[in-house]
Structure 1
Amino acid sequence: MKTLKFIAISALLAAANTVFAHSNQIHEPAGPMTQETQEQQAWGVAGDARSALRTITLNMGDDMRFSPHHFSVKRGETVRLHVVNQGQIMHEVVLGTQASLHEHAQMMLKFPGMQHAEPYMAHVAPDTSEDLVWNFNRAGSFDFACLIAGHYQAGMTGTFTVTE
């Protein structure tokens, strides 16, 4: 019986290791956004790059800070976030609510190699940039953060406001 439990636990750990493998690799976008792939979030929905009329550059670096650490958009606006990693290590930006980011950050501490690719995040290798296109269709105050283990805890966070 102990052998069976050991085999089952080993298989689960091996599967988790495969699913949560996260390294300095850049994650490719899931493909073109269609109505089926656009999942509404509290802070908006994936945007179509052709609809983005404005670009906001978000710089991030090894000082564990974003610049700017706050930006504002109008409800319904589709914006291209041009995310620039000026540091020497991998960083990411993830849009969300305080609660969703905190929960995800806790998962990243437990599984630091976790692989994830959602339209509301961009993983950016050192000295490179990525674009994240988002339609901010819900008004309110929201957050963004780098959730790589230790970065969020070091204060690598910011806020954004979606106005009517």
Structure 2
Amino acid sequence: MVRTVKPLAGALAALALSTAVALAGPGEAGHSHRSFAAGEPGDPKKPVARTIEVTMKETDDAKMLFEPNKVEIKRGEQVKFVLRNAGQVDHEFMLDSIENNAKHKIQMEKNPDMEHDDPNGKRLAPDGSNEIVWRFTKAGTFEFACLIPGHYESGMKGTVVVK
């Protein structure tokens, strides 16, 4: 009996490892490219057409907002968003389609402490800053939003129009 348990245990371990590798997919090392509705991550080695400073903050009348809350961009343009949280609480900047942000908002309601350091989104602590370099390859209207529960409803959303 001992002789059959060891080979069986080894076979099960090998199966588990191969399944985990298959489910993980190629990842960055395999040059897998995630698809984004609003374009693609920019190349930080290439020049940007412009830098857009975005401030996140709360107001005295309990609103939360981005300044600016509307940006117009030319299709194909690579821009750098310089993000700064001037507020008293954590905020995030998620750049995506309105539909994808709505789906992500539901996930955030279930997991409000979810951290973001994605090509299209960053979470910032008060007084924090970060950058996103983005290339807008598709025309359309997109959204940037803070999806931390309650923030979107308090006005923390903005529009990117790509022409």
Q: Normalised by the size of structure 1, how large is the TM-score?
A: 0.73
Q: Summarize the Cα distance change of 1:35–1:62 in structure 2 as closer, same or farther, 3 Å threshold.
A: farther
2:42 equivalent in structure 1: 47
Structure 1 Cα separation of the partners of residues 65 and 140 of structure 2 = 23
Structure 1 residue aligned with 2:146: 146
Question: CA shift at 1:128, angstroms?
Answer: 2.2
Residue 128 (structure 2) aligns with: 128
SS in 1 for 2:105: helix
Determine the structure 2 residue equivalent to 1:93.
93
The yes-or-no answer on 1:59 pairing with 2:46 is no
CA deviation after TM superposition for structure 1 residue 38, in Å: 4.2
CA distance in structure 2 between the aligned counterparts of 1:37 and 1:78, rounded to whole angstroms: 21
1:102 alignment counterpart: 102
Query: Is 1:38–1:46's contact at 8 Å kept on the other side of the alignment?
Result: no
Q: Does 1:155 align with 2:151?
A: no
Of the structure 1 ranges 35-44 and 135-144, higher mean CA displacement relative to structure 2 is found in: 35-44
Given the two structures, how large is their TM-score scaled by the length of structure 2? 0.74
Give unmatched runs, 5+ long, in structure 1. Answer: 1-32
- 1:10-55 Cα shifts (integer Å, max 9, x gaps): xxxxxxxxxxxxxxxxxxxxxxx89925423121001112222310
Identity of aligned residues (%): 40
1:117 is matched by which residue type in structure 2? D
Task: Determine the C-alpha separation between the residues in 2 that align with 1:60 and 1:37.
Answer: 32
The structure 1 segments of at least 4 consecutive aligned residues displaced by more than 4 Å after TM superposition are none
Structure 2, unaligned runs of 5 or more: 1-27
